[in-house]
Structure 1
Amino acid sequence: MSGSVSASGNGHRADEPPGEDRILNQEEIDNLLGFTAGREAGAKQGVQALVTAAGVTYERLPMLEIVFDRLERMLTTSLRNFTAENVDIHIENIYARRFGDYLEGVPLPAMLGVFRAEEWDNYGLVTVDSPMIYSIVDVLLGGRRGCSAMRIEGRPYTTIEASLVERLIRLVLADLSTAFAPITRIDMRFERIETNPRFAAIARPGNACVVVRMRIDMDTRGGMIEFLLPYATLEPVRDTLLQMFMGEKFGRDSIWENHLAREMRQTSVTLDAVLDEQSVSLQDVMRLKVGSLLLLNTRPDSEVVLRCGAVPMLSGRMGRHGERLAVRVEQRIVRREDGDA
């Protein structure tokens, strides 16, 4: 990048009089925009650092952390029954990342299981790294205890290996569905396994996702399993996941609600008794004057509608009580948006 920039005002050098324009040289332009020599060493500065920033502001979801803590305990028991080995599981990290950056950072070879959250109508990923793949294959096929799993690099995974990893992923997804059960009913349904991250694209590269890294150890063997859930997938239960504990009401005050409802019931309102309604032309209205007679299509036993503003509320019959006209209420008018009588 080359060119010149004119600077004025307070951005003058010590040997120049204030208030005069000056020309920035190429080095100063590079320093301003972040194209410095340090870039070649991996450093990003200035405007370039802002544009290429890969970080994502992480909205803490306390209830999601509790869900995966529950998954950790449940999966420990399930994997012990599945492998007949002593299994130790712990969550290493929960962080946010852009989907495109995550796929670029997946260490290959690996298997990425794509699953669908049925009730949320969206997708997620379960990534099983290479050490975990070879460990689970070695354990399920009767490998010798006390020895680390043998890794054979430079070849694709066989059908048997993919089938065993699929069983593992289905087991993990079943426990994940159960872990979400106290919050919401959800069915994590396994869809397919991909070995190429580009074929596991379930979101746009710039979409923010929650990544959960889980370490699984089986004696001297083990590896990593990562869960990736886009924020779009969690959106249907976002309000619940933001709670600090189950049953949190987000500031709702039941005492104030009851007081408000009680006071509203004691509020005075004006009811209008409508004897008749007619459609009259504007020409007839303009002819009205003092002493004009309006004929109402109402008899003493006709139905009278009581309205609050423009909303019909009650209906009844007109009568007399002492020296006053009265309306005897017979029924409540049920509106379509009202379900009660």
Structure 2
Amino acid sequence: MSVEEAERPREPAIDRFDQAGIDAIFGFDTPPPRAAKKGLRALLDADIANRERLPMLEVVCERMVRTFATSMRNLTSDALDVHLERVSTTRFGDFMNRLPLPAMIGVFHAAPWDNFGAITVDSGLIYAVVDSLLGGRRGGAVMRIEGRAFTSIETVLVGKMIQQTLADFAASFSAIEPVQMTLERVETTPRFAAIAGPSNLTAVATFRVEMEERGGSFSIVLPYATIEPVRDKLVQRFAGEKLGHDAVWGAHIARELLATEVTLEAVLGERTMRVQDYMALRVGQTIGLNREPDDPITIASGGVPLGQAQIGKRAASVAVQMLNDIADGFSA
């Protein structure tokens, strides 16, 4: 090597970056590799949810759109439009993690089902409702105020809207199953509104409210554990406006039932006998039933008691006179 080459300054070596280094330069966080999960944990933490369709729940939500639009017009005295965006199935933890903040979460109790649900209201709809109820300016985008919690006045006003939402949703649901929904509390932090486990499946109905170039959306969250008592009704197919009830078929079945012939049995009495005594009976023998001639007898059909009657005679025939209506029921 010559002296000139030895004195020549060496060029710095070029560092070779991997993907993690490139991400670090540009400010991206590379998530650490996750260990593969096995067994029951892999099943519980799976991203794939069993998306069971609930056709009747979609019908309830469509009815809710018409009812809630009228209620909101009466509440705010504004021209608004309400429409259903989607009805989906997701895990409760995934839904709460994707919830845009700030937001209000109303936790309600469904009395007949003895379980809880939630209503989430985004900030756009919160500010639109508050401005409308307090006489704010109409039209234009609502200014989003960051860095502060909702005031007590905002919480109370939005709470009134949530209560009206629950009343309209319960009224829409009554065509399938009567239900009473009561608002328990209003939260602004998702972890304080944990009505189900993170991996539990929930049905989420999202509605959009437009109020003169402003508005927002709200969602009704129903865990599957809450709607389990009526799940069989919610998975039924819907046809027609009357929720599956066909008046023509109902009237036809009623006519056919009234014209059906039924065999009635007059039970004078019953007695328990041994098989050998029963086999030894001969013509002309008398069986004692421990009954008086004026005691009422039982009228039955197919072994089912229908009522009591008094035995007598009409013309040359033996007759019975009913002592109670069959519609009133009978217990022996």
Same-fold status (TM-score > 0.5):
yes
The structure, 1 or 2, with the larger RCO (C-alpha pairs under 8 Å, 6+ apart) is 2
Q: Give the gaps of 5 or more residues in structure 2.
A: 1-30
- AA aligned to 2:72 is L
Superposed displacement of residue 148, structure 1: 1.9
Superposed displacement of residue 51, structure 1: 5.8
Match of 1:248 among 241, 244, 247: 244
Paired residues in the alignment total 290
Is the 1:302–1:317 Cα contact (8 Å) retained in structure 2?
no
Partner of 1:58: 52
Local SS of the residue matching 2:148: coil
Change (3 A) 1:40 1:223: same
Mapping of residues 121-200 of structure 1, within 5 Å? 121-200=114-193
Superposed displacement of residue 258, structure 1: 6.6
Change (3 A) 1:159 1:280: closer
Change (3 A) 1:40 1:50: farther
Is the 1:89–1:216 Cα contact (8 Å) retained in structure 2?
yes
CA distance in 1, matches of 2:329, 2:43: 58
Partner of 2:95: 102
Change (3 A) 1:329 1:161: same
CA distance in 2, matches of 1:219, 1:304: 75
Q: When the two structures are superposed, what TM-score results if normalisation uses the length of structure 1?
A: 0.62
CA distance in 2, matches of 1:299, 1:83: 75
CA distance in 2, matches of 1:315, 1:95: 62
Partner of 2:329: 339
Select between 218-227 and 118-127 the one with higher mean Cα deviation: 118-127
Q: Is 2:67 the counterpart of 1:77?
A: no
Change (3 A) 1:102 1:249: same
Q: When the two structures are superposed, what TM-score results if normalisation uses the length of structure 2?
A: 0.64
- AA aligned to 2:244 is E
CA distance in 2, matches of 1:236, 1:67: 16
Is the 1:148–1:221 Cα contact (8 Å) retained in structure 2?
yes
Q: Give the gaps of 5 or more residues in structure 1.
A: 1-38
Q: What percent identity do the matched residue pairs reach? A: 37
CA distance in 1, matches of 2:139, 2:162: 24
Query: CA deviation digits over 1:156-178, x for unaligned, max 9?
Result: 22222212221221232233233
- AA aligned to 1:339 is G
CA distance in 2, matches of 1:297, 1:84: 78
CA distance in 2, matches of 1:159, 1:192: 13
Superposed displacement of residue 133, structure 1: 1.9
Superposed displacement of residue 95, structure 1: 0.9
